[in-house]
Amino acid sequence: MFPKRRDEILAGGSLYWVIRGMVLCRQPIVDLEKVTGQDGLERCRIVFKPQIIPVRPIPRRPFQGWRYFEAADAPPDLKKSAGSAGLSEKMRRELAALGLL
């Protein structure tokens, strides 16, 4: 499937990764390309910047297809000064589940 809001995505959008039931990071999107598979079906190739940016963890079930975060709903990037830099992944998840991160 190709996203209907391509121009919005390319104007600074990211793909947010759901890992073990939590949105944990995002990866900026550089381009979306239409490609045709060997079966003749049209698909979307997502071209990413190589950087992965940790975000404040939020619970989210895995899903298929495009979902859009409005800017106000997108999890904020974690900053190194956020006090969680030295925490283990397990501790970060537990604090996020309690709403403390």
Domain hosting 55: range is 6-97
Asked whether residue 53 is domain-assigned, the answer is yes
Q: Is the pLDDT of residue 100 over 80?
A: no
Q: Phi and psi at residue 17, in whole multiples of 5°?
A: -90, 125
Report d(CA 55, CA 9) in Å as an integer.
18
Asked whether residue 60 is domain-assigned, the answer is yes
Q: Is the pLDDT of residue 38 over 90?
A: yes
Asked whether residue 92 is domain-assigned, the answer is yes
Six token digits for residue 40: 């003749």
pLDDT tens-digit readout, 47-81: 999 999 989 888 888 777 778 888 888 999 987 64
pTM of the model: 0.73
Asked whether residue 1 is domain-assigned, the answer is no
Instruction: Give how many domains the chain has, as a whole number.
Output: 1
Residue 40 pLDDT grade (very low, low, confident, very high; cuts 50, 70, 90): very high
Per-residue model confidence (pLDDT) at position 52: 92
